[in-house]
Amino acid sequence: MKSLDTMCICNKDIYHSSHDSVNGNEIHESEMHMKCQCSQPKSFLLIDGQEYLRVCNAEQFMEKLNCSDKDLEVKVVSIFGNTGDGKSHTLNQTFFKGEEVFETSNDQNSCTLGVWAALDPVLNVICLDTEGLLGITSYENERTRLLLKVLAVSDIVVYRTQSEKLNRDLFTFIGTASRAYSHHFQAALQAVGQRKGDLGSISALGPSIIVLHETRYTKPLTNSTYCHILRLTMV
């Protein structure tokens, strides 16, 4: 797969406007959609709260993504976080210019149950919106396993949190997920590393994690501090 660094990052206004003029150095809207002929993106339930996959095969998956190019190279970006911290809103604003592709709500109950998916046809990114942590559910173990499965197919994981301080549950979840990921996928990751000629740490082949910390008064966590806390959590 191509890295996001080598993929085209364009002005997202191109995605919504068909009247903007462009010069020779810019990318026309028609060219942006050559790889994947998609209409307005829509999200759909990919995995329900009981861990059942809601698509039967790859063809149905592509159909629900509104994508006709079976050879399209994509990246998978998933988002995690507590219930009510704005995960769906963040995906809508980041990839779909505020369009409510993923449902949002100001209700106390979670409006996202299971895992929902949608394709950004401009960046060729499959976005996965997950059920919130710490929400009321009778399927706590199933939800944890479900999130670990999402982690396994993700290239980039965003942990979204609204708080003045980063709580321990964030680092506990990431530490637990990291151990489970390495345990269950060690053989597969080593095989991938050998094919790529990368015989280093298997952790380098896993997903990248971005902690999106929305805070009003507290300074965001730096990378060095985050790594130190995570190491202590994983001991």
pLDDT score at 109: 63
| 3-class DSSP assignment, residue 186 | helix
Q: Which two tokens stand for residue 202?
A: 């298997």
Q: Are strands 44-47 and 75-81 parallel, antiparallel or unpaired?
A: unpaired
Identify which has the larger pLDDT, 139 or 54: 54
Identify which has the larger pLDDT, 2 or 135: 135
Q: Where do runs of H (alpha helix) occur along 65-197?
A: 87-95, 140-152, 168-196
CATH 3.30.200: does it fit domain 44-234?
A: no
pLDDT score at 43: 95
DSSP secondary structure code for residue 222 in this structure: P
Identify which has the larger pLDDT, 9 or 235: 235
Q: Are strands 115-120 and 156-162 parallel, antiparallel or unpaired?
A: unpaired
How far does Cα 16 stand from its chain's mean position? 22
Q: Is it the case that residue 158 has pLDDT exceeding 90?
A: yes
CA pair distance 80, 151, nearest whole angstrom:
9
**φ, ψ dihedrals at 174, nearest 5°:** -65, -40
pLDDT digits 0-9 by tens, 8-57: 333 334 344 434 434 444 444 444 444 444 467 899 999 987 888 999 99
Instruction: Label residue 169 by pLDDT band (50, 70, 90).
Output: confident
Q: How many Cβ atoms are within 10 Å of 197's Cβ, its own excluded?
A: 6
Given a contact cutoff of 8 angstroms between Cβ atoms, the answer to whether 33 and 14 are in contact is: no
pLDDT score at 108: 61
pLDDT score at 202: 63
pLDDT digits 0-9 by tens, 72-93: 999 999 999 888 888 999 999 9
Nearest CA among 65, 142, 52, 149 for reference residue 101: 65
CA dist 18 → 15, 21, 119, 208 (Å): 8, 9, 20, 34
pLDDT digits 0-9 by tens, 90-113: 999 999 999 999 998 777 666 678
Question: Is this model's pTM higher than 0.75 or not?
Answer: no
pLDDT score at 24: 45
DSSP secondary structure code for residue 203 in this structure: G
User: Which region, left, alpha or beta, applies to residue 66 given φ > 0 means left and ψ of -120 to 50 means alpha?
Assistant: left
